[in-house]
Chains A and B, each alone.
Chain A
Amino acid sequence: MKRERKIRVMVAKPGLDGHDRGARIIARAYRDAGFEVVYTGLHQTPEEIVEAAIQEDVDMVGLSSLAGAHKYLFQAVVDLLREKDSGDIVVCGGGIIPDDDIKMLKAAGVKEIFTPGTTLDEIVKWVRENVTPRR
Protein backbone atom coordinates (compact mmCIF):
# COMPACT_ATOMS: atom_id res chain seq x y z
CA MET A 1 0.00 0.00 0.00
CA LYS A 2 2.63 2.38 1.08
CA ARG A 3 5.66 1.67 -1.05
CA GLU A 4 4.93 4.37 -3.49
CA ARG A 5 7.27 6.55 -5.45
CA LYS A 6 5.64 9.91 -5.71
CA ILE A 7 6.72 12.45 -8.32
CA ARG A 8 8.40 15.37 -6.55
CA VAL A 9 8.93 18.54 -8.53
CA MET A 10 10.21 22.01 -7.77
CA VAL A 11 8.76 25.17 -9.25
CA ALA A 12 11.20 28.05 -9.16
CA LYS A 13 11.38 31.64 -10.31
CA PRO A 14 14.95 32.54 -11.20
CA GLY A 15 16.16 36.08 -11.63
CA LEU A 16 14.59 39.45 -11.07
CA ASP A 17 11.21 38.75 -12.58
CA GLY A 18 8.42 39.52 -10.12
CA HIS A 19 5.49 37.79 -11.77
CA ASP A 20 4.67 34.48 -10.17
CA ARG A 21 1.01 34.03 -11.06
CA GLY A 22 1.93 31.56 -13.79
CA ALA A 23 4.27 29.61 -11.52
CA ARG A 24 1.59 29.37 -8.85
CA ILE A 25 -1.00 28.12 -11.31
CA ILE A 26 1.43 25.49 -12.56
CA ALA A 27 2.22 24.46 -8.97
CA ARG A 28 -1.46 24.02 -8.31
CA ALA A 29 -1.95 21.94 -11.47
CA TYR A 30 0.92 19.70 -10.39
CA ARG A 31 -0.63 19.27 -6.96
CA ASP A 32 -3.97 18.37 -8.53
CA ALA A 33 -2.13 15.81 -10.65
CA GLY A 34 -0.90 14.16 -7.44
CA PHE A 35 2.67 15.47 -7.45
CA GLU A 36 4.49 16.89 -4.46
CA VAL A 37 5.48 20.42 -5.40
CA VAL A 38 8.16 22.40 -3.65
CA TYR A 39 7.77 26.09 -4.39
CA THR A 40 10.78 28.33 -3.80
CA GLY A 41 9.29 31.75 -4.34
CA LEU A 42 10.62 34.70 -6.31
CA HIS A 43 14.08 36.07 -7.08
CA GLN A 44 16.10 32.89 -6.85
CA THR A 45 19.65 32.55 -8.09
CA PRO A 46 20.53 29.39 -10.06
CA GLU A 47 22.76 28.38 -7.12
CA GLU A 48 19.87 28.63 -4.65
CA ILE A 49 17.55 26.69 -6.93
CA VAL A 50 20.05 23.88 -7.47
CA GLU A 51 20.90 23.54 -3.78
CA ALA A 52 17.21 23.44 -2.87
CA ALA A 53 16.51 20.85 -5.59
CA ILE A 54 19.21 18.58 -4.18
CA GLN A 55 18.08 18.97 -0.56
CA GLU A 56 14.49 18.30 -1.57
CA ASP A 57 15.44 15.33 -3.80
CA VAL A 58 13.09 16.40 -6.59
CA ASP A 59 12.77 14.59 -9.93
CA MET A 60 12.24 17.74 -11.94
CA VAL A 61 12.84 21.48 -11.72
CA GLY A 62 10.37 23.70 -13.55
CA LEU A 63 11.69 27.20 -14.19
CA SER A 64 9.51 30.16 -14.97
CA SER A 65 10.85 33.33 -16.51
CA LEU A 66 9.02 36.24 -18.02
CA ALA A 67 11.79 38.80 -17.85
CA GLY A 68 14.01 37.88 -20.77
CA ALA A 69 17.02 36.45 -18.93
CA HIS A 70 15.98 32.84 -19.52
CA LYS A 71 18.95 31.98 -21.73
CA TYR A 72 21.48 32.62 -19.01
CA LEU A 73 19.37 31.50 -16.04
CA PHE A 74 17.98 28.24 -17.40
CA GLN A 75 21.34 27.15 -18.74
CA ALA A 76 23.03 28.01 -15.44
CA VAL A 77 20.61 25.72 -13.59
CA VAL A 78 21.30 22.83 -15.99
CA ASP A 79 25.06 23.34 -15.75
CA LEU A 80 25.10 23.58 -11.95
CA LEU A 81 22.99 20.45 -11.57
CA ARG A 82 25.45 18.56 -13.75
CA GLU A 83 28.37 19.97 -11.80
CA LYS A 84 26.79 18.75 -8.57
CA ASP A 85 26.35 15.22 -9.86
CA SER A 86 22.60 15.77 -10.20
CA GLY A 87 22.27 15.95 -13.97
CA ASP A 88 19.55 13.31 -13.76
CA ILE A 89 17.11 15.91 -12.44
CA VAL A 90 14.96 16.93 -15.42
CA VAL A 91 14.85 20.67 -16.13
CA CYS A 92 11.99 22.27 -18.02
CA GLY A 93 10.99 25.87 -18.41
CA GLY A 94 8.16 28.16 -19.28
CA GLY A 95 7.58 31.75 -20.22
CA ILE A 96 7.68 34.14 -23.11
CA ILE A 97 10.58 32.56 -24.93
CA PRO A 98 11.45 33.06 -28.65
CA ASP A 99 11.83 30.04 -30.94
CA ASP A 100 15.56 30.57 -31.46
CA ASP A 101 16.14 30.61 -27.72
CA ILE A 102 14.12 27.41 -27.33
CA LYS A 103 16.47 25.67 -29.76
CA MET A 104 19.49 26.94 -27.90
CA LEU A 105 18.10 25.95 -24.48
CA LYS A 106 17.14 22.47 -25.60
CA ALA A 107 20.62 21.99 -27.02
CA ALA A 108 21.97 23.12 -23.64
CA GLY A 109 20.02 20.41 -21.83
CA VAL A 110 16.66 21.94 -20.94
CA LYS A 111 14.30 19.10 -21.74
CA GLU A 112 11.25 21.12 -22.74
CA ILE A 113 10.05 24.70 -22.95
CA PHE A 114 6.40 25.63 -22.60
CA THR A 115 5.23 28.87 -24.17
CA PRO A 116 2.01 30.87 -23.75
CA GLY A 117 -1.01 28.96 -24.97
CA THR A 118 0.12 25.58 -23.63
CA THR A 119 -2.66 24.07 -21.55
CA LEU A 120 -2.13 22.77 -18.02
CA ASP A 121 -3.25 19.33 -19.16
CA GLU A 122 -0.54 19.25 -21.79
CA ILE A 123 2.11 20.20 -19.26
CA VAL A 124 0.98 17.62 -16.71
CA LYS A 125 0.85 14.97 -19.42
CA TRP A 126 4.38 15.87 -20.47
CA VAL A 127 5.65 15.54 -16.90
CA ARG A 128 4.03 12.13 -16.50
CA GLU A 129 5.66 10.95 -19.71
CA ASN A 130 9.10 12.44 -19.17
CA VAL A 131 9.74 12.40 -15.44
CA THR A 132 10.14 9.17 -13.53
CA PRO A 133 10.05 9.42 -9.78
CA ARG A 134 13.50 8.60 -8.47
CA ARG A 135 15.72 7.56 -11.24
Chain B
Amino acid sequence: MSDLVEKVTNGDVRAVARLIRDVDDGMPEVRDVLKALYPHTGRAYIIGITGAPGVGKSTLVDQMVAHLRKRGKTVGVLAVDPTSPFSGGAILGDRVRMQRHSLDPEVFIRSLATRGHFGGLTQSTRSAIDILDAMGKDVILVETVGVGQDEVDVMRNVHTTVIVVIPGMGDDIQAIKAGILEVGDIFLINKSDREGTDKTLRDLRLMIEMDQGKFDRGLWKPPILKVQAVFDKGVDDFLDAVDRHAQHLEQTAGGLKSRRSPDRVRQEMVDMIKTRLIEEVLDKLTESGDFDRAVNAIVKGDLDPYSACENLVFPALGGTSAEG
Protein backbone atom coordinates (compact mmCIF):
# COMPACT_ATOMS: atom_id res chain seq x y z
CA MET B 1 0.00 0.00 0.00
CA SER B 2 2.79 2.45 0.85
CA ASP B 3 4.04 1.61 -2.63
CA LEU B 4 0.74 2.84 -4.10
CA VAL B 5 0.82 5.99 -1.97
CA GLU B 6 4.31 6.70 -3.22
CA LYS B 7 3.25 6.15 -6.83
CA VAL B 8 0.32 8.52 -6.47
CA THR B 9 2.35 11.25 -4.81
CA ASN B 10 4.97 10.84 -7.53
CA GLY B 11 2.28 11.49 -10.10
CA ASP B 12 2.10 7.99 -11.61
CA VAL B 13 -0.78 8.35 -14.08
CA ARG B 14 -1.74 4.70 -14.21
CA ALA B 15 -1.73 4.33 -10.42
CA VAL B 16 -3.88 7.44 -10.05
CA ALA B 17 -6.29 6.28 -12.76
CA ARG B 18 -6.73 2.89 -11.14
CA LEU B 19 -7.17 4.31 -7.68
CA ILE B 20 -9.96 6.62 -8.85
CA ARG B 21 -11.63 3.59 -10.40
CA ASP B 22 -11.44 1.74 -7.10
CA VAL B 23 -12.95 4.71 -5.30
CA ASP B 24 -15.76 4.90 -7.84
CA ASP B 25 -16.43 1.19 -7.67
CA GLY B 26 -16.62 1.45 -3.88
CA MET B 27 -13.77 -0.94 -3.11
CA PRO B 28 -13.27 -0.97 0.66
CA GLU B 29 -9.47 -1.37 0.32
CA VAL B 30 -9.15 2.20 -0.87
CA ARG B 31 -10.04 3.63 2.51
CA ASP B 32 -6.58 2.94 3.88
CA VAL B 33 -4.95 4.45 0.81
CA LEU B 34 -7.10 7.58 1.12
CA LYS B 35 -6.16 7.86 4.79
CA ALA B 36 -2.48 7.68 3.89
CA LEU B 37 -2.89 10.19 1.07
CA TYR B 38 -4.74 12.76 3.15
CA PRO B 39 -1.61 14.37 4.61
CA HIS B 40 -0.48 15.02 1.03
CA THR B 41 -3.63 16.97 0.18
CA GLY B 42 -4.60 20.60 0.71
CA ARG B 43 -2.20 22.13 -1.79
CA ALA B 44 -4.38 22.32 -4.89
CA TYR B 45 -6.75 25.13 -5.78
CA ILE B 46 -10.13 23.64 -6.66
CA ILE B 47 -12.53 25.31 -9.08
CA GLY B 48 -16.04 23.99 -9.70
CA ILE B 49 -17.78 24.70 -13.00
CA THR B 50 -21.48 24.08 -13.21
CA GLY B 51 -24.44 24.95 -15.42
CA ALA B 52 -27.21 23.44 -17.49
CA PRO B 53 -26.43 21.02 -20.33
CA GLY B 54 -25.31 22.81 -23.47
CA VAL B 55 -24.05 26.05 -21.93
CA GLY B 56 -20.48 25.18 -22.92
CA LYS B 57 -18.90 23.95 -19.72
CA SER B 58 -16.57 21.45 -21.37
CA THR B 59 -15.42 23.95 -23.96
CA LEU B 60 -14.79 26.45 -21.20
CA VAL B 61 -12.86 23.91 -19.15
CA ASP B 62 -10.77 23.11 -22.22
CA GLN B 63 -9.84 26.79 -22.60
CA MET B 64 -9.19 27.12 -18.87
CA VAL B 65 -6.73 24.23 -19.08
CA ALA B 66 -4.93 25.93 -21.97
CA HIS B 67 -4.66 29.26 -20.12
CA LEU B 68 -3.68 27.69 -16.81
CA ARG B 69 -0.91 25.78 -18.59
CA LYS B 70 0.33 29.06 -20.07
CA ARG B 71 0.40 30.40 -16.52
CA GLY B 72 2.65 27.50 -15.59
CA LYS B 73 0.09 25.52 -13.59
CA THR B 74 -0.42 21.79 -13.68
CA VAL B 75 -4.07 20.83 -14.02
CA GLY B 76 -6.41 18.00 -13.06
CA VAL B 77 -9.91 17.78 -14.52
CA LEU B 78 -12.87 15.79 -13.22
CA ALA B 79 -15.76 15.83 -15.67
CA VAL B 80 -18.97 14.43 -14.23
CA ASP B 81 -21.77 13.24 -16.52
CA PRO B 82 -25.06 11.63 -15.56
CA THR B 83 -25.63 7.90 -15.36
CA SER B 84 -28.74 6.61 -17.10
CA PRO B 85 -31.23 5.63 -14.41
CA PHE B 86 -32.59 2.95 -16.74
CA SER B 87 -29.52 1.01 -17.78
CA GLY B 88 -26.94 2.17 -15.25
CA GLY B 89 -24.69 3.03 -18.17
CA ALA B 90 -23.34 6.44 -19.12
CA ILE B 91 -21.89 8.22 -22.09
CA LEU B 92 -19.04 10.38 -20.90
CA GLY B 93 -18.47 12.85 -23.69
CA ASP B 94 -16.88 15.87 -21.99
CA ARG B 95 -13.49 14.62 -23.03
CA VAL B 96 -14.29 15.28 -26.68
CA ARG B 97 -13.70 19.00 -26.06
CA MET B 98 -10.52 18.47 -24.09
CA GLN B 99 -8.65 15.79 -26.00
CA ARG B 100 -6.02 18.24 -27.28
CA HIS B 101 -4.53 18.20 -23.77
CA SER B 102 -4.35 14.44 -23.57
CA LEU B 103 -0.65 14.28 -24.47
CA ASP B 104 0.35 17.01 -22.01
CA PRO B 105 1.91 15.10 -19.09
CA GLU B 106 1.01 17.95 -16.72
CA VAL B 107 -2.72 17.52 -17.39
CA PHE B 108 -4.82 14.65 -16.06
CA ILE B 109 -8.41 14.36 -17.26
CA ARG B 110 -10.91 11.92 -15.84
CA SER B 111 -14.57 11.40 -16.72
CA LEU B 112 -16.84 10.30 -13.89
CA ALA B 113 -20.43 9.07 -14.03
CA THR B 114 -22.85 10.12 -11.31
CA ARG B 115 -23.83 6.45 -10.85
CA GLY B 116 -26.60 5.73 -8.45
CA HIS B 117 -24.98 5.89 -5.10
CA PHE B 118 -26.82 7.45 -2.25
CA GLY B 119 -25.06 10.73 -1.76
CA GLY B 120 -22.03 8.86 -2.97
CA LEU B 121 -21.29 11.27 -5.77
CA THR B 122 -20.18 13.84 -3.27
CA GLN B 123 -18.09 11.25 -1.55
CA SER B 124 -16.39 9.77 -4.58
CA THR B 125 -15.83 13.13 -6.26
CA ARG B 126 -14.26 14.46 -3.09
CA SER B 127 -11.97 11.45 -2.90
CA ALA B 128 -11.04 11.88 -6.57
CA ILE B 129 -10.22 15.54 -5.85
CA ASP B 130 -8.01 14.45 -2.95
CA ILE B 131 -6.21 11.95 -5.17
CA LEU B 132 -5.45 14.56 -7.86
CA ASP B 133 -4.40 16.95 -5.11
CA ALA B 134 -2.01 14.36 -3.66
CA MET B 135 -0.78 13.68 -7.18
CA GLY B 136 0.50 17.25 -7.17
CA LYS B 137 -1.85 19.07 -9.52
CA ASP B 138 -1.82 22.83 -8.85
CA VAL B 139 -5.37 23.44 -10.00
CA ILE B 140 -8.27 20.98 -10.13
CA LEU B 141 -11.32 21.72 -12.26
CA VAL B 142 -14.54 19.89 -11.42
CA GLU B 143 -17.27 20.06 -14.03
CA THR B 144 -20.85 18.99 -13.26
CA VAL B 145 -24.35 19.57 -14.54
CA GLY B 146 -25.72 21.69 -11.74
CA VAL B 147 -28.82 19.80 -10.82
CA GLY B 148 -29.61 17.78 -7.74
CA GLN B 149 -28.55 18.08 -4.15
CA ASP B 150 -25.50 15.91 -4.69
CA GLU B 151 -24.06 18.27 -7.22
CA VAL B 152 -24.81 21.30 -5.10
CA ASP B 153 -22.88 19.57 -2.34
CA VAL B 154 -19.97 18.94 -4.69
CA MET B 155 -19.89 22.64 -5.49
CA ARG B 156 -19.88 23.51 -1.82
CA ASN B 157 -16.60 21.69 -1.49
CA VAL B 158 -14.49 23.67 -3.91
CA HIS B 159 -12.68 26.98 -3.44
CA THR B 160 -14.31 28.87 -6.28
CA THR B 161 -17.67 27.91 -7.77
CA VAL B 162 -18.37 29.13 -11.28
CA ILE B 163 -21.92 29.18 -12.63
CA VAL B 164 -22.16 29.18 -16.42
CA VAL B 165 -25.29 30.44 -18.20
CA ILE B 166 -26.04 31.47 -21.77
CA PRO B 167 -28.15 34.37 -23.08
CA GLY B 168 -31.86 33.82 -23.36
CA MET B 169 -32.06 31.28 -20.58
CA GLY B 170 -34.10 33.52 -18.31
CA ASP B 171 -36.21 30.73 -16.99
CA ASP B 172 -33.14 28.74 -16.45
CA ILE B 173 -31.75 31.32 -14.12
CA GLN B 174 -35.00 31.04 -12.19
CA ALA B 175 -34.54 27.31 -12.05
CA ILE B 176 -31.03 27.43 -10.66
CA LYS B 177 -31.94 30.21 -8.27
CA ALA B 178 -33.16 27.92 -5.53
CA GLY B 179 -30.26 25.54 -5.37
CA ILE B 180 -26.91 26.28 -6.71
CA LEU B 181 -27.14 30.00 -7.20
CA GLU B 182 -26.33 30.72 -3.60
CA VAL B 183 -23.01 28.98 -3.93
CA GLY B 184 -21.89 30.84 -7.07
CA ASP B 185 -18.68 32.85 -6.63
CA ILE B 186 -18.38 33.87 -10.28
CA PHE B 187 -21.10 34.04 -12.91
CA LEU B 188 -20.20 33.56 -16.55
CA ILE B 189 -22.38 34.35 -19.51
CA ASN B 190 -20.98 32.13 -22.22
CA LYS B 191 -21.80 32.50 -25.93
CA SER B 192 -22.08 36.22 -25.18
CA ASP B 193 -22.02 37.11 -28.84
CA ARG B 194 -25.62 35.97 -28.91
CA GLU B 195 -28.71 38.08 -28.62
CA GLY B 196 -30.06 38.58 -25.13
CA THR B 197 -26.71 38.84 -23.36
CA ASP B 198 -27.47 42.23 -21.84
CA LYS B 199 -30.83 41.10 -20.52
CA THR B 200 -29.26 38.02 -18.93
CA LEU B 201 -26.59 40.29 -17.45
CA ARG B 202 -29.26 42.57 -15.96
CA ASP B 203 -31.23 39.61 -14.59
CA LEU B 204 -28.16 38.18 -12.91
CA ARG B 205 -27.07 41.55 -11.55
CA LEU B 206 -30.51 42.18 -10.10
CA MET B 207 -30.50 38.84 -8.41
CA ILE B 208 -27.02 39.20 -6.98
CA GLU B 209 -27.62 42.73 -5.76
CA MET B 210 -30.51 41.55 -3.63
CA ASP B 211 -27.74 40.43 -1.28
CA GLN B 212 -26.11 43.87 -1.26
CA GLY B 213 -26.30 43.96 2.54
CA LYS B 214 -23.98 40.97 2.74
CA PHE B 215 -21.46 42.54 0.39
CA ASP B 216 -21.47 45.74 2.44
CA ARG B 217 -20.34 43.64 5.35
CA GLY B 218 -17.33 42.50 3.35
CA LEU B 219 -18.62 39.27 1.87
CA TRP B 220 -17.49 38.37 -1.65
CA LYS B 221 -19.66 39.91 -4.33
CA PRO B 222 -19.84 37.52 -7.30
CA PRO B 223 -18.75 39.23 -10.50
CA ILE B 224 -20.63 38.57 -13.74
CA LEU B 225 -18.39 38.14 -16.77
CA LYS B 226 -19.02 37.64 -20.45
CA VAL B 227 -17.06 34.98 -22.29
CA GLN B 228 -17.07 33.21 -25.64
CA ALA B 229 -15.27 30.04 -24.74
CA VAL B 230 -15.29 28.58 -28.23
CA PHE B 231 -13.49 31.68 -29.58
CA ASP B 232 -11.24 31.89 -26.52
CA LYS B 233 -12.58 35.34 -25.64
CA GLY B 234 -12.70 36.55 -22.06
CA VAL B 235 -11.15 33.43 -20.56
CA ASP B 236 -8.03 35.19 -19.29
CA ASP B 237 -10.11 37.90 -17.59
CA PHE B 238 -12.23 35.19 -16.07
CA LEU B 239 -9.15 33.46 -14.63
CA ASP B 240 -8.05 36.81 -13.20
CA ALA B 241 -11.42 36.96 -11.44
CA VAL B 242 -10.74 33.49 -10.02
CA ASP B 243 -7.42 34.82 -8.72
CA ARG B 244 -9.18 37.75 -7.08
CA HIS B 245 -11.59 35.35 -5.42
CA ALA B 246 -8.64 33.27 -4.26
CA GLN B 247 -7.08 36.40 -2.73
CA HIS B 248 -10.37 37.20 -1.04
CA LEU B 249 -10.39 33.69 0.44
CA GLU B 250 -6.80 34.23 1.50
CA GLN B 251 -7.73 37.37 3.42
CA THR B 252 -10.99 36.19 4.91
CA ALA B 253 -10.90 32.43 5.18
CA GLY B 254 -7.30 31.33 5.10
CA GLY B 255 -7.11 30.67 1.36
CA LEU B 256 -6.45 27.07 0.46
CA LYS B 257 -7.24 26.12 4.02
CA SER B 258 -10.78 27.39 3.55
CA ARG B 259 -11.67 23.88 2.45
CA ARG B 260 -10.87 22.85 5.98
CA SER B 261 -12.91 25.49 7.75
CA PRO B 262 -15.04 24.07 10.60
CA ASP B 263 -18.22 24.51 8.55
CA ARG B 264 -16.89 22.62 5.60
CA VAL B 265 -15.30 19.90 7.68
CA ARG B 266 -18.61 19.48 9.51
CA GLN B 267 -20.41 19.15 6.19
CA GLU B 268 -17.78 16.74 4.93
CA MET B 269 -18.11 14.58 8.01
CA VAL B 270 -21.91 14.51 7.76
CA ASP B 271 -21.64 13.36 4.13
CA MET B 272 -19.05 10.78 4.97
CA ILE B 273 -20.96 9.34 7.90
CA LYS B 274 -24.14 9.26 5.85
CA THR B 275 -22.53 7.39 2.98
CA ARG B 276 -20.69 4.97 5.23
CA LEU B 277 -23.72 4.25 7.40
CA ILE B 278 -25.95 3.50 4.45
CA GLU B 279 -23.25 1.31 2.96
CA GLU B 280 -22.67 -0.68 6.12
CA VAL B 281 -26.35 -1.11 6.97
CA LEU B 282 -27.43 -2.07 3.45
CA ASP B 283 -24.52 -4.48 3.11
CA LYS B 284 -25.50 -6.21 6.32
CA LEU B 285 -29.15 -6.41 5.33
CA THR B 286 -28.56 -7.68 1.82
CA GLU B 287 -26.03 -10.25 2.96
CA SER B 288 -28.38 -11.67 5.60
CA GLY B 289 -31.27 -11.73 3.13
CA ASP B 290 -33.42 -9.61 5.48
CA PHE B 291 -33.67 -6.90 2.89
CA ASP B 292 -35.12 -9.15 0.19
CA ARG B 293 -37.46 -10.81 2.66
CA ALA B 294 -38.83 -7.43 3.68
CA VAL B 295 -39.25 -6.38 0.05
CA ASN B 296 -41.16 -9.56 -0.72
CA ALA B 297 -43.38 -9.13 2.33
CA ILE B 298 -44.25 -5.57 1.31
CA VAL B 299 -44.96 -6.66 -2.26
CA LYS B 300 -47.27 -9.41 -1.03
CA GLY B 301 -49.05 -6.96 1.24
CA ASP B 302 -48.03 -8.70 4.48
CA LEU B 303 -46.02 -5.76 5.77
CA ASP B 304 -45.96 -1.99 5.44
CA PRO B 305 -42.69 -0.27 4.47
CA TYR B 306 -42.64 1.89 7.62
CA SER B 307 -42.59 -1.11 9.93
CA ALA B 308 -40.20 -2.94 7.64
CA CYS B 309 -37.75 -0.06 7.79
CA GLU B 310 -37.94 0.06 11.56
CA ASN B 311 -37.52 -3.71 11.85
CA LEU B 312 -34.46 -3.57 9.65
CA VAL B 313 -32.61 -0.43 10.66
CA PHE B 314 -32.51 -0.67 14.43
CA PRO B 315 -31.17 -4.22 14.72
CA ALA B 316 -28.62 -3.42 12.03
CA LEU B 317 -27.41 -0.53 14.16
CA GLY B 318 -27.12 -2.80 17.14
CA GLY B 319 -30.36 -1.74 18.90
CA THR B 320 -33.57 -3.73 19.08
CA SER B 321 -36.36 -1.24 18.50
CA ALA B 322 -37.08 2.40 17.78
CA GLU B 323 -36.62 3.07 21.48
CA GLY B 324 -33.48 0.95 21.74
User: Judging by beta carbons under 8 Å apart, are B88 and A6 in contact?
Assistant: yes
In the complex, the answer to whether A33 meets B87 with C-beta atoms within 8 Å is yes
With known contacts A48-B99, A57-B17, A38–B87 Cβ distance under 8 A:
no
Write out the residue numbers on chain B whose beta carbons fall within 8 Å of the beta carbon of A56: 17, 92, 95, 110-111
Residue of A nearest to B96 (CB): A41
Binds B, one of A24-32, A62-70, A92-100: A24-32
Q: A125 → chain B, closest Cβ, in Å?
A: 15
Which residues of A have CB within 8 Å of B96?
Answer: 39-41
**How many residues of A are counted as interface, with CB atoms below 8 angstroms from the partner's CB atoms?**
34
B93-134 CB mask vs A (1 if < 8 Å, else 0) is 101110100110000111101010100100000000000000
Stretch of B182-190, B279-287, B295-303, B305-313 with 4 or more beta carbons under 8 angstroms from chain A? B279-287
- B4-32 residues at the A interface, CB under 8 angstroms: 13-14, 17-18, 20-21, 24-28
Indicate if the CB atoms of A55 and B91 lie closer than 8 Å: no
Q: Taking A1-B286, A31-B89, A34-B87 as contacts, is the C-beta distance between A134 and B14 under 8 angstroms? A: no
Q: A30-B89, A33-B87, A39-B92 are in contact. Are A3 and B13 (CB under 8 A)?
A: no
Is there contact, CB below 8 Å, between A85 and B14?
A: yes
Most buried by B among A8, A38, A85: A38
CA distance A23 to B89 in the complex (A): 16
Query: In the assembled complex, which residues on chain A have CB atoms less than 8 Å from the CB atom of B97?
Result: 41
B149 interface contact, C-beta 8 A: no
Contact between A39 and B95, CB atoms less than 8 A apart: yes
Complex Cα spacing A62 to B49, Å:
30
B247 contacts partner chain A, Cβ-Cβ < 8 Å = no
Cβ of A1 and Cβ of B279 under 8 Å apart?
yes
Contact with B along A43-63 (1 / 0, CB 8 A): 010011001101111000000
Instruction: Return the chain B residue nearest A43 by Cβ.
Output: B99
Specify which chain A residues have a CB less than 8 angstroms from the CB of B93 in the assembled complex.
39, 41
Q: Give Cα A5–Cα B286 distance, bound, in whole angstroms.
A: 18
A54, B283: Cβ atoms under 8 Å? no
A40 adjacent to B95 (CB under 8 Å):
yes
Please tell me if the beta carbons of A6 and B25 are within 8 angstroms of each other in the complex. Answer: yes
- Contacting B at CB under 8 A, from A79-104, are 84-86
* CB-contact partner of B14 in A36, A41, A86, under 8 A: A86
A125 to B73, CA, bound (A): 44
The answer to whether B89 touches A55, judged by C-beta atoms less than 8 angstroms apart, is no
Residue on A nearest B291 in the bound complex, by CB: A1
Expressed in whole angstroms, the Cα–Cα distance for A54 and B13 within the complex equals 8
**Docked-complex contact A48 and B102, CB < 8 angstroms:** yes
Does chain B have a CB within 8 A of A129? no
Contacts of A37 in B (CB 8 A): 89-92
The reply to whether B110 and A55 contact each other, CB–CB distance below 8 Å, is yes
A39 CA / B96 CA spacing, docked (Å): 7
19 A-B contact pairs sorted by A residue (CB < 8 Å): A1-B279, A3-B27, A6-B24, A6-B25, A6-B88, A31-B89, A31-B90, A32-B86, A39-B92, A41-B93, A41-B99, A48-B103, A52-B99, A52-B109, A56-B17, A56-B111, A57-B20, A57-B21, A134-B21
Identify the B interface with A (CB < 8 A). 13-14, 17-18, 20-21, 24-28, 83-84, 86-93, 95-97, 99, 102-103, 108-111, 113, 115, 117, 120, 279, 282-283, 286
A-B pairs, top 4 by smallest CB distance, nearest first, are A41-B96, A31-B89, A2-B26, A57-B17
| Known A34-B88, A48-B99, A134-B25; 13 more pairs at CB < 8 Å | A2-B117, A2-B120, A3-B25, A3-B27, A6-B88, A31-B84, A31-B90, A36-B83, A37-B92, A38-B95, A41-B93, A54-B17, A55-B108
